[in-house]
Structure 1
Amino acid sequence: MAGSVHSDAYRSFLKALVALRNKRGMSQAELAEKLRKPPSFVGKYELGERRLDVIELLVILRELDADFGPFWAKAEITLPDRI
C-alpha cells in the first residue's frame, strides 16, 4: 500500500536519513540528546515504528547540519503515483 508507513518510498527515506546520521558520525543517542528527546525517539522513527512529520524532519536535518533540498536530491526516493 503506497500510503503505508512501510511503503518502499518511506523505507528509502528512512534509509537515507539513517545514512546521513551515520555519515555525520553521530549515534542515535547523540542525535536524541541534540533533539532533547529520549533515544527511543530516534530508534523508533529509524525502524519505521514511528512516522515523522515535516517539522520533525526539518529539525532533525538541522541537527544533522543538512538542508532538505540536498538531502532529498541525494535520497533516491521514487515517489508513488498515488498516496
Structure 2
Amino acid sequence: MEKSIYTQQYGLFLATLRAARESAGILQSELAARLNVDQPFVSKCESGQRRLDFIEVREWCAALGITLNELTVSFEETIARVQKK
C-alpha cells in the first residue's frame, strides 16, 4: 500500500482543508492564532510538509467554525468531481 501522503486523495484532502479556511475568510496567521500554533505550522500542514492526525483535523475544523462532518462531505464531493473527469 502506498503511503497516503503521496496519493492524489491526500492532495485533494489538503486542497479541501485550504479551501475551507479560505471560504471562512481566515488567513493562515489567524488560523494559527486560533490553534495556538505559529503560521509556518499551518503552512506546512496545508502544503503537505507536515501531516495532520485525526484529532488535529477535528481541532482545525473547530477553529474554522465547521464540523468534521462538513469537511468530510466537502472532501468526498471533491473526490467525486475529480473522478468524473
TM interval, shorter chain, is 0.7 to 0.9
Deviations 1:27-79 (Å, cap 9, x if unpaired)?
1001001101011110001000000000000000000011111211121236x
2:36 corresponds to 1:36: yes
How many residues are aligned here?
78
Structure 1: where are the runs of 5+ without partners? 79-83
CA contact (8 A) 1:28 1:43 kept: yes
User: How big is the alpha-carbon RMSD for the aligned residues of Structure 1 and Structure 2?
Assistant: 1.4
Structure 2: where are the runs of 5+ without partners? 81-85
> Whole-Å Cα distance in 1 between the matches of residues 70 and 25 of structure 2?
19
Letter in 1 for 2:10: Y
CA contact (8 A) 1:6 1:48 kept: no
User: What is the 5 A alignment of 1:15-34?
Assistant: 15-34=15-34
Residue 2 of structure 1 deviates from its aligned partner by: 3.3
What is the TM-score with the length of structure 2 in the denominator? 0.84
> Whole-Å Cα distance in 1 between the matches of residues 9 and 25 of structure 2?
25
Once the two structures are overlaid, the 10-residue window that deviates more, 69-78 or 55-64, is 69-78
Runs of 4+ in 1 over 6 A off after TM superposition: none
Letter in 1 for 2:23: K
Greater relative CO, 1 or 2 (CA 8 Å, sep 6+): 1
